[in-house]
Amino acid sequence: MKIYLVGGAVRDKLLGLAIKDRDWVVVGSSPEEMIGLGYQQVGKDFPVFLHPETKEEYALARTEKKTGLGHSAFSVDITPTITIEEDLLRRDLTINAMAEDDDGTLIDPYGGQEDLKNKVLRHVSPAFSEDPLRVLRVARFSARFAHLGFEVAQETLGLMQHLVNNSELDELPAERVWNEFRRALGEITPAFFFITLRDCYALGVVMQEIESLFGISQEKARLSLMALTKAAELTPDTAVRFSALCYELPVTHDFTFVKNLRKLDALCMRLKIPNDHKDLASMTCLYWDSCSGLSLQEAEPVLTLFENCDAIRRPERFQFFLTACKAIRKASEENEALIDLRHKTLLHLLNLCQKLDSSVLRDAGYEKEEFGIQLRLLRLETIENYLKDLNNES
């Protein structure tokens, strides 16, 4: 029985990056032996075990054989005689197909270290084209390492195009697509996820709504990807990044802004995107232009924005909305200092509205609908007084 550190931990160690997770492969063992040693078995498709103390994942060395269409149609062999080289052969990219033994010796049978040096994302073997999910995984690794200068090898891009042409991506479950999408949104340069998918003609298959931006206008698509890039610089929150990416979706082919969310709704429904991402993106699509166009001279537009965004009741989400708006405006090269000043003023006004003492209205006998009318008037007065003082100072 031999145990090897494998995959991302080995790759990131060679790149000098922080190691977040460690995965292990066990050669020469069996499920019975692992359980006998105190490991807890998890996973149904193939035996993976949790270490009794560290809870890190230990997988038995295995080989896989394609049995049909889709990413899950494989038979798995976990015979104890399978070698570490055979296990690494089934992996997606050479930079992920390296291992390290307990002495620290590098096992690199497929040239992963050389590809790290040359900054190339290259498939390990022709078996790459047996799993359509790898198209999305390569695009995600492009988003992770593009800032270091990594590019997808042309022959690998060709295999990705082959998977698209064979309609293999049509078999991917929505949950798996969204999982790769979400993880890509969290990478350093998430725009390269979509650029890479376009390069192999996959974007129109898995996210036709995002692809449609390129059909409307190359400039619209460029601004959407730039907004995503700016959002990635501002926050790690994937809901904000998703919202910045999607802000141009309610646009028709005649360049008329339409206050409907059919494209966004279709994307979210098909990929089963979580409600927090969908709600923030919907708010951003509908109101980012209203927010950006506020002159802060009148109270009514400010309060209307608060009401439309349910900001008084959900101030944290409104702050996420403002971050998405900032990313969009930065993509258009608006002055960042002016953006920050506008947003700081809005947050202060929101805080004033939240702190209003409405008990005076109750004491005055206002109830139900009349109470709501008077409360709105009080908020308008509060906003108006502050803006008047602010404008007088300036």
Domains of the chain listed by start with CATH number = 1-114 (3.30.460.10), 119-206 (1.10.110.30), 233-394 (no CATH)
Identify which of 48, 34, 41, 45 has the alpha carbon closest to the alpha carbon of residue 76.
Answer: 45
C-alpha span between 129 and 135 (Å, rounded): 9
Cα atoms in the 13 Å half-sphere on the side-chain side of 114:
6
C-alpha span between 58 and 5 (Å, rounded): 9
Q: Which amino acid is at 361?
A: L
Q: Which residues are registered as beta bridge partners of 41? A: 49
Q: Which residues are registered as beta bridge partners of 151? A: 120
Q: Which residues are registered as beta bridge partners of 158? A: none
For residue 100, the surrounding DSSP H or E stretch is: strand 99-100
The alpha carbon of 108 is separated from its chain's Cα centroid by a whole number of angstroms, namely 31
- The answer to whether residues 261 and 285 touch, using CB atoms and an 8 Å cutoff, is yes
C-alpha span between 203 and 28 (Å, rounded): 41
CB atoms within 10 A of CB 372: 12
- The answer to whether residues 205 and 169 touch, using CB atoms and an 8 Å cutoff, is yes
Retrieve residue 213's tokens: 């931006």
Retrieve residue 279's tokens: 């709600």
Identify which of 356, 327, 322 has the alpha carbon closest to the alpha carbon of residue 342.
Answer: 322
Q: Which residues are registered as beta bridge partners of 48? A: 42, 59
Q: Is 393 helix (H, G, I), strand (E, B) or coil?
A: helix
Q: Which residue stretches of 293-367 are H helix?
A: 299-308, 315-331, 336-354, 359-363
Reading the chain (394 residues) residue by residue, the pLDDT tens digits are: 899 999 999 999 999 999 988 999 999 999 999 999 999 998 766 789 999 999 999 999 998 776 666 555 567 888 999 999 999 999 999 999 999 999 999 999 999 999 999 999 999 999 998 899 999 999 999 999 999 999 999 999 999 999 999 988 988 999 999 999 999 999 999 999 999 999 999 999 999 999 988 877 788 899 999 999 999 999 999 999 999 999 988 754 444 555 568 889 999 999 999 999 999 999 999 999 999 888 888 999 999 999 999 999 999 999 999 999 999 999 988 889 999 999 999 999 999 999 998 888 888 888 888 998 999 999 999 999 999 988 777 6
Q: Which residues of 139-170 are buried (b: 16+ CB within 10 A; e: fewer)?
A: bbbbbbbbeeebbbbeebbebbbebbeeebbe
Q: Which residue stretches of the chain are H helix?
A: 8-15, 31-36, 84-89, 112-118, 133-145, 154-165, 174-185, 191-199, 203-206, 208-216, 218-234, 238-246, 262-271, 275-292, 299-308, 315-331, 336-354, 359-363, 368-393
Q: Is 105 helix (H, G, I), strand (E, B) or coil?
A: coil
* Alpha-carbon distance values, 305 to 32, 256, 312, 384 (Å): 62, 22, 10, 14
